[in-house]
Structure 1
Amino acid sequence: MNGHRVIELFERWAKPTLAMEGDPIGLHIGTLNKEISRVLVTLDVTPAVIQEAIDNHCELIIAHHPPIFRKLKAVDTSTPVGAMIEKCIKHDIAVYAAHTNLDIAAGGVNDMLAQALELEDIEILTETYSERVMKLAVFIPETHADAMRQALAGAGAGEIGDYEHVSYSMKGQGRFRPAEGADPFIGEIGKLELVDEEKIEVVFPTSKKARVVKAMLNAHPYEEVAYDIYTLDIEANEHGLGRIGRVHDMNLEQFASYVKQKLGVPFVRVTGDFSKSVTKIAVIGGDGNKYIYDAKRAGADVLVTGDMYFHTAQDAETIGLSIVDPGHHVEAIMKQGTVDYMTELLKNEKKAPEFIASTISTEPFKLV
């Protein structure tokens, strides 16, 4: 499968529009204009990970943490970053980064962490993005209406909450007279035609407009298609950083041990009263220092996040929010999670590449 097609499918999940402003997501090294048979999924790009990609004959690496986070003034191959870029290029390995867009995406890193902790009644912690909703109304012969509904659903139209293939139809009659130069599917040049038609209406988020219109045009038998598109005064597909949900009642000490066990880490850092009962839990992958007040406003008893600063932890104590810090590296949950998601997404695609989870731990800290 061509690399552009692989990333096009991946970005239907981790949409670039979800990324926080200034986040350097996207292609970092190499080209996507080539055939891809194997993709290595990793948290970080390190020399060991690149060698793993070489050993597994991978043409593409999808990383969560961007390898080039700040602009480079030069690619000096005597530096660690320059040497990694050189090695990737020499072995024709492209590197693509999906950072906050993968954090925010439904089913992405924060959902993976919330599910690993078996949170219930999961909601978004901090909304960062929402889309306007559009409606399409298309007029089509009754004989082709079912095929049109299927095509629109396949393009992502007609999804409302937990429901798919949602549409509304109204039967009527269409009138037209083909003029000279027309190539009518129904009717004759110069003769007024009356056709039994259906008006099909579906809604979709604005980001899917191009795909929905293309599917509609491809499924329609007429050379000139009659349709309307308009924006609705409602929002859908709310997205955001972090998740908040509930666990069964336990105290903070028990919950800290629970996090250790569920996320598979050797230790956690904890602030707060160990005897305090906790039930409402906020979780943010990576560095969640900015979100202690969001967690408190949402009613969280505990915020599970990494890289907690000393003074931020003190501030959290002051506002009555406990912290459980399992480290930044718990985001490594995205490796197998991404492999599973993309394997399922591409199961019906011809020549779909194999997705492989990196086995290299990029956790830099050790306990002594």
Structure 2
Amino acid sequence: MGKVATGQQIIKWFEQFAPKHLAMDGDPIGLHVGTLNKKVNKVMVTLDVLENVVDEAIEQNVDLIIAHHPLLFKPLKQVSPDQEKGRIVQKLLAHDIAVYAAHTNLDVAEGGVNDAMTMALGLKPDSVLVETGKETLYKLAVYVPKTHEDTVREALGNAGAGHIGEYSHCMFQTAGTGSFKPLEGSTPYLGSHGEIEYVEEVKIETIVTESTSHSVMEAMKDAHPYEEVAYDLYKLENEGPSYGIGRLATLEEPMTLKEFAEHVKTSFQVPALRAVGDMEKVVKKVAVLGGDGNKYISVAKKKGADVFITGDLYFHVAHDALGMGLNVIDPGHHVEKVMKEVVSEYLKRTFDKHSITTEVIESNAHTEPFQFL
């Protein structure tokens, strides 16, 4: 029988997908309004937290909003119903709706906004556009009875442990004998109270990244038969994989800039877009960065991109792009709405895995500020 999750549980699971440490310095991510210390019957995923989104949440009896764009990007000097932000906060508090924001950490996360935008174009990301950090690596060693060696090893690999380059499930096993004495109050899988038990065990060692460590540990404990799992987890000096914002990808078949611009327009379902460059120029290598990517045009050029897809392109930056021979396509900032499906599907899978009955919905409220005439 399923159960309702708390806000704390939901955000704990969500942050395994988009860890806070991936966020850029100064980015106001996390809880903005309300409390997570409550049961959540319904979660709504949205790009923006505007007043119409909050009204929709109230109508849908939502308990928690997970947004990409922070509601309180700048601190409020006052909370007044005479101003939109004040009304939003007032409505949220009055209806006990919490708001949590995942901004640049969701941009950077594997499978997050930038990956989703790239894949929406039918492309497979090759690498990050701008490296913002490297994952910390840990060594996990867990002691498992030989009868459950395969089960635990498979659970670890499926949760993300043992990924080295283009290989997964990389692990090392050594056999030995484990011993323990179950004390009063314990419910041992093997052995009897007060007697030392000797068991044929296997020590499984593998690599874990900081981002996957929580899900790996959870999977390990779920798959392990013992009431108390014996394991070691320690930090390594090995250099971990890099992470960052934006993605680079390669078209299977080159297109002209005009053809590719039409493809972008169709893929993101936008009524119009802006393009900079020679419409007949052939493009093959693509850089993608959701939101405002103006300061990264030089990086896109340096990384060999023929065309850079980003939003909020400034007039003079467009001139700079022309001058350096970089084609740019601006489909708008609002195309980041692809995050709604990504996050909602992740939450649904996670809830199903844990037998959680909390409902997940995507906001249908219109938050694109521009109209195309």
TM interval, shorter chain, is 0.7 to 0.9
Partner AA of 2:120 in structure 1: A
* Residue in 1 that maps onto 2:127: 123
Partner AA of 2:32 in structure 1: H
Tell me if the contact between 1:177 and 1:189 (Cα under 8 Å) persists in the aligned partners.
no
The percentage of counterpart residues that share the same residue type is 46
Partner AA of 2:310 in structure 1: T
Tell me if the contact between 1:306 and 1:327 (Cα under 8 Å) persists in the aligned partners.
yes
Tell me if the contact between 1:114 and 1:122 (Cα under 8 Å) persists in the aligned partners.
no
Distance 1:3 1:222 in 2: 27
Tell me if the contact between 1:306 and 1:325 (Cα under 8 Å) persists in the aligned partners.
yes
Distance 2:86 2:78 in 1: 8
What is the deviation of 1:245?
0.8
Which of 309, 312, 315 lines up with 1:307 in the alignment? 312
Residue 161 (structure 2) pairs with residue 157 (structure 1)? yes
Task: Give the secondary-structure state (helix, strand or coil) at the position aligned to 1:28.
Answer: strand
Which of 272, 277, 292 lines up with 1:287 in the alignment? 292
Call closer, same or farther: CA 1:201–1:41 in 2, change over 3 Å. same
* Residue in 2 that maps onto 1:93: 97
Tell me if the contact between 1:252 and 1:276 (Cα under 8 Å) persists in the aligned partners.
yes
* Residue in 2 that maps onto 1:278: 283
Could you tell which deviates more after superposition, 145-154 or 315-324? 145-154
* Residue in 2 that maps onto 1:344: 349
Residue 130 (structure 2) pairs with residue 132 (structure 1)? no
1:275-311: per-residue Cα shift (whole Å, max 9, x none)? 1111111111110001101111110011111101111
Tell me if the contact between 1:142 and 1:196 (Cα under 8 Å) persists in the aligned partners.
yes
* Residue in 1 that maps onto 2:240: 236
Distance 2:195 2:347 in 1: 52
Which of 337, 358, 366 lines up with 2:363 in the alignment? 358
* Residue in 2 that maps onto 1:41: 45
Which of 57, 62, 75 lines up with 1:58 in the alignment? 62
* Residue in 2 that maps onto 1:332: 337
Tell me if the contact between 1:148 and 1:220 (Cα under 8 Å) persists in the aligned partners.
no
Residue pairs, 1:195-274, within 5 angstroms: 196-209=200-213, 219=224, 221=226, 225=230, 227-247=231-251, 248-274=253-279
Task: Give the secondary-structure state (helix, strand or coil) at the position aligned to 1:346.
Answer: helix
1:319-340: per-residue Cα shift (whole Å, max 9, x none)? 1111111111111121223222
1:45-94: per-residue Cα shift (whole Å, max 9, x none)? 11111111111111111111101001122222322111110001111111
Q: Could you tell me which runs of 5 or more consecutive residues in structure 2 were left unpaired when the two chains were aligned.
A: none
Tell me if the contact between 1:260 and 1:268 (Cα under 8 Å) persists in the aligned partners.
yes
* Residue in 2 that maps onto 1:111: 115
Task: Give the secondary-structure state (helix, strand or coil) at the position aligned to 2:135.
Answer: strand
Call closer, same or farther: CA 1:277–1:205 in 2, change over 3 Å. same
* Residue in 2 that maps onto 1:31: 35
Could you tell which deviates more after superposition, 294-303 or 351-360? 351-360
Tell me if the contact between 1:156 and 1:204 (Cα under 8 Å) persists in the aligned partners.
yes
Distance 1:299 1:52 in 2: 44
* Residue in 2 that maps onto 1:79: 83
Tell me if the contact between 1:135 and 1:204 (Cα under 8 Å) persists in the aligned partners.
yes
Structure 1 length-normalised TM? 0.88
Call closer, same or farther: CA 1:361–1:136 in 2, change over 3 Å. same
What is the deviation of 1:26?
0.7
What is the deviation of 1:261?
1.4
Distance 1:74 1:8 in 2: 31
What is the deviation of 1:217?
7.0
Call closer, same or farther: CA 1:139–1:364 in 2, change over 3 Å. closer
Task: Give the secondary-structure state (helix, strand or coil) at the position aligned to 2:88.
Answer: helix
What is the deviation of 1:271?
1.1
Partner AA of 1:108 in structure 2: G
Tell me if the contact between 2:70 and 2:101 (Cα under 8 Å) persists in the aligned partners.
yes
Tell me if the contact between 2:290 and 2:311 (Cα under 8 Å) persists in the aligned partners.
yes
User: In the comparison of the two structures, how many residue pairs are matched?
Assistant: 365
What is the deviation of 1:206?
3.3
Distance 1:342 1:300 in 2: 34
Tell me if the contact between 2:31 and 2:98 (Cα under 8 Å) persists in the aligned partners.
yes
Could you tell which deviates more after superposition, 156-165 or 75-84? 156-165
Which of 8, 13, 18 lines up with 1:9 in the alignment? 13
Q: Could you tell me which runs of 5 or more consecutive residues in structure 1 were left unpaired when the two chains were aligned.
A: none
Distance 2:52 2:180 in 1: 68
Task: Give the secondary-structure state (helix, strand or coil) at the position aligned to 2:368.
Answer: coil
Could you tell which deviates more after superposition, 250-259 or 45-54? 250-259
Which of 316, 323, 326 lines up with 1:321 in the alignment? 326
What is the deviation of 1:44?
0.8
Call closer, same or farther: CA 1:278–1:140 in 2, change over 3 Å. closer
What is the deviation of 1:202?
1.6
Call closer, same or farther: CA 1:230–1:293 in 2, change over 3 Å. same
